[in-house]
Amino acid sequence: MALQNKYLADLLETVKKRNPGEPEFIQAVTEVFTSLEPVAEKRPDLVEAGVFERIVEPERQIIFRVPWVDDNGVQRVNRGFRIEFNSAIGPYKGGLRLHPSVYLGIIKFLGFEQIFKNSLTTLPMGGGKGGSDFDPKGKSDGEVMRFCQSFMTELSKHIGPNTDVPAGDIGTGAREIGYMFGQYKRLRNEFTGVLTGKGLTFGGSLARTEATGFGVCYFTEEMLKANGKSFKGQTVVISGSGNVAIYATQKATELGAKVVTMSDSNGFIYDENGIDLAAVKQIKEVERKRIKEYLNYHPEAVYTEGCSNIWNTPCDIALPCATQNEIDGESAKKLAANGCYCVSEGANMPSTPEAIDVYFENKMLYGPAKAVNAGGVAVSGLEMSQNSERLSWTFEDVDSRLKNIMVNIFKSCDEASKEYGLEGNYMAGANIAGFLKVAEAMKAQGCV
């Protein structure tokens, strides 16, 4: 649907012209602008302060060469990125994605989303994102280490505990963060909380590993509760089998649901008895193998090659936890036709605009990524606090703060949706609530 507000429609055209060949970034801006139309009408002061123009332009974009030597002595070159998008409410904060599909448009969409997500957490964090087109899959530990050291050699010039604090994302887990932290410490001769998602022996926070997936379920449970439902007894389809998917599966199961699928980029497994998470953890976290291996543990389960048919699986609730645009309009229609009444997003922007239209047409409960998956960065914020005071909190303490934050994020989305006459549209609620805090800060700080 075209934008009705002329000011935002014209600005979107400018954004499209200024950022050619970046469809994911344009998709993210279009969605946010669609939600912000009533805000632009109601708040001419923010229009006058140039907040909309400034918020779509990254404060700084860093692109750099990452040379490294593979195990055969061959020189390799990847491209590194860090987009420092917005520092109105705190130091730039956001993950690093290592995946062959990474290019400027992916990092910019993720950095843009991160601004609003971080604002929703209520913690003082600006928005940023980075990464590289390096593919950790099939690389030895030594190769991953040499890549991470080279990547950090350049990145270290731009980040710092009060400037920009990266973390994990697709392809970047505890191993990669450890290598990067070691290199930063060596280069700068300082031990600071410059990265989050660190190992527990050197400043990491308990519950950071679980945070995104647990947070997905805390938000979703709250959304279900507000609509007279709960996870109890529900059949859940989860995509992905990485950090977010694994801990979403664990928490959904603890809350009484039966999770019947998980996937990787090759295909998906269906286990009608409910996923055996110990087997998945062994395959993915320990052995770094493919999800197909699940059949070695459970021959009665079914493996299907390819990812998209996962959305044909009948379910009550779908939690996409793999990657952007993994649910298109057709997949969304299949979900709806098979009785799915709730889609809540663990991955960043997993639904295409057409899929989102289908959710609304079918009156499904829709939890948007920037609210639903904010638990990861929220606990990153708590890791920063612990590093600053040189203390570590217990698992229970961090987990209960996480839960509290997720409950409040749902509340903010719900209230903003009601205030703007869009009750039940949590996408609009998340975009509006996330935007307003950043916008007020940008206005107060003047034209910077």
Is 244 among the residues that bind ligand NDP (CB under 6 A)?
A: yes
Is 94 among the residues that bind ligand 2IT (CB under 6 A)?
A: yes
Report the alpha-carbon distance of residue 317 to residue 320 in Å, rounded.
10
Q: Which of residues 59-118 bind ligand NDP (CB under 6 A)?
A: 99, 101
| CB of residue 94 to ligand 2IT, shortest distance in Å | 5
Is 176 among the residues that bind ligand 2IT (CB under 6 A)?
A: no
| CB of residue 232 to ligand 2IT, shortest distance in Å | 28
Is 132 among the residues that bind ligand 2IT (CB under 6 A)?
A: no
Q: What are phi and psi of 70, to 5 degrees?
A: -80, 180
Residue among 117 and 251 whose Cβ is closer to ligand 2IT: 117
93 binds, among ligand 2IT, ligand NDP, none (CB under 5 to 8 A by kind): ligand 2IT
Taking each helix axis from N to C end, the angle separating 375-389 and 208-226, rounded to the nearest 10 degrees, works out to 130
Is 321 among the residues that bind ligand NDP (CB under 6 A)?
A: yes
Is 28 among the residues that bind ligand NDP (CB under 6 A)?
A: no
| CB of residue 58 to ligand NDP, shortest distance in Å | 18
Among 264, 316, 383, 399, binds ligand NDP (CB under 6 A): 264
# residues near ligand 2IT by CB under 6 A: 11
Which of these ranges, 51-59, 236-244, 414-422, 430-438, lies near ligand NDP under the rule CB under 6 A? 236-244
Residue span 372-411 as binding mask against ligand 2IT, x where in contact by CB under 6 A, dash where not = ----xx--x-------------------------------
Closest-approach residue to ligand NDP (CB): 242
| Residue of 129, 198, 251, 284 marked catalytic | 129
Residue among 115 and 269 whose Cβ is closer to ligand 2IT: 115
Residue 80 β-bridge partners: 64, 132
Residue span 266-305 as binding mask against ligand NDP, x where in contact by CB under 6 A, dash where not = x---------------------------------------
Report the alpha-carbon distance of residue 219 to residue 412 in Å, rounded.
12
Among 34, 86, 235, 241, binds ligand NDP (CB under 6 A): 241
Residue 370 annotated among the catalytic residues of the structure: no
Among 196, 209, 344, 351, binds ligand 2IT (CB under 6 A): 196
- The catalytic residue positions are 129
Q: Residue numbers of the site for ligand NDP (CB under 6 A)?
A: 99, 101, 168-171, 212, 240-245, 264-266, 307, 321-323, 346-348, 373, 376
